């Protein structure tokens, strides 16, 4: 059996039932075995994140910067390796896999810079002799639930800012794509994150995700996925009066007017619809084309597809 990639809870790699991660484009290709977390694992991860929050939220800006910068540097250095891992487990073409990996590195690089310029505001008050000072503080424990279609970029978009601003994390990636999630957590762990700041719990949404939604010790949830699941996430967060951010599926129109540049419009339509085989919430899945350009546009799109 291949090496088991374990969950990270309170700075310790924790065993669990191993689940095979199979390449969807070559079912003879075993990407690896990844531990499936339990409800108890999720509860332990939440406790660890809660315990780590006071110290991490008061950590120095240079410490956060160094960890995020080091993570970005390693992602850039391993972009071909990580891009191939992404392509194997998710099904993207290799150029798209490498491109998404570079994007993840850029996100960590950006927030490494942001960590050095955390700012507030001082504004005058309408009351004489009173000043108004606005500061930004960490929210607390952030639950991160990510989808299968961008398995390294979307985790980066959520993890990097959460860490930059002093939050601790319980991270549940989509069950179909644990490999990229494990890799990015391993990099952050080795970059020097204190124990409990970032916890990885791979597994079923009905088990791990539900434990996160049910816990009163999770202060915020950021979710990317289906509309149906997003509704359940929103309802659970309302119950606990916690902050919530949802990015769900869409049915997106691309509008082409008579005065559009035909070549540009065609490129936008085809790339928007078929990039990542159309498996993304921002795909242009409807085209609204006005009469004056309609026939030329349809012919040009057909030729592009041919």
Q: What is the largest CA-CA distance in the chain?
A: 74
d(CA 104, CA 107): 5
d(CA 45, CA 39): 10
Q: CA distances (Å), 77 to each of 83, 108, 192, 290, 300, in order? A: 11, 13, 18, 47, 40
Could you give the 3-state DSSP secondary structure of residue 197?
coil
Q: CA distances (Å), 135 to each of 56, 121, 129, 279, 287, in order? A: 17, 7, 20, 39, 45
d(CA 102, CA 80): 9
Residues forming beta bridges with residue 222, ordered by sequence position: 144, 245
Strands (E), the chain: 4-5, 7-9, 12-14, 17-22, 30-36, 121-124, 131-134, 141-145, 168-172, 198-200, 220-225, 243-248, 252-256, 284-289
Q: Give which of 206, 273, 194 is closest to 236, Cα–Cα.
A: 206
Which active-site residues does the annotation give?
A: 247, 281
* Euclidean distance between the first and the last CA atom of the chain, given in angstroms as a whole number: 44
Q: Which residues are CB-contacts of 130 (< 8 A; sequence separation ≥ 6)? A: none
Q: CA distances (Å), 178 to each of 31, 120, 134, 225, 279, in order? A: 10, 37, 39, 15, 18
């Amino acid at each position: 059996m291949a090496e088991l990639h374990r969950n990270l809870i309170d700075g310790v790699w924790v065993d669990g039932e191993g689940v095979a991660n199979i390449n969807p484009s070559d079912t003879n290709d075993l990407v690896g075995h990844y531990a499936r977390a339990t409800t108890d694992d999720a509860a332990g991860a939440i406790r660890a994140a809660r315990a780590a929050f006071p110290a991490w939220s008061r950590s120095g800006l240079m410490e956060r910067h160094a960890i995020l910068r080091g993570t970005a540097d390693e992602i850039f250095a391993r972009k071909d390796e990580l891009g191939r891992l992404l392509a194997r487990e998710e099904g993207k073409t290799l150029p798209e896999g490498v491109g998404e990996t570079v994007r993840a590195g850029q996100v960590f690089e950006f927030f490494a810079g942001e960590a050095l310029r955390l700012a507030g505001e001082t504004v005058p008050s309408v009351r004489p002799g009173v000043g108004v000072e606005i500061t930004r503080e960490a929210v607390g424990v952030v639950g991160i639930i990510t989808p299968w279609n961008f398995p390294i970029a979307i985790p980066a978009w959520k993890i990097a800012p959460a860490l930059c601003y002093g939050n601790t994390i319980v991270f549940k990636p989509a069950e179909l794509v644990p490999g990229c999630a494990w890799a990015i957590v391993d990099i952050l762990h080795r970059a020097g994150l204190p124990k409990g700041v970032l916890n990885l719990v791979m597994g079923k949404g009905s088990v791990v995700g539900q434990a996160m939604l049910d816990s009163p010790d999770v202060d915020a949830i950021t979710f990317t996925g289906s509309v149906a699941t997003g509704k359940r996430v929103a309802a659970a967060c309302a119950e606990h009066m916690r902050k919530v951010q949802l990015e769900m599926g869409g049915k997106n129109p691309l509008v082409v007017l008579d005065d559009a540049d035909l070549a540009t419009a065609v490129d936008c339509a085809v790339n928007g619809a078929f990039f990542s085989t159309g498996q993304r919430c921002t795909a242009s899945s409807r085209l609204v084309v006005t009469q004056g350009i309609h026939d030329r546009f349809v012919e040009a799109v057909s030729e592009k597809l041919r």
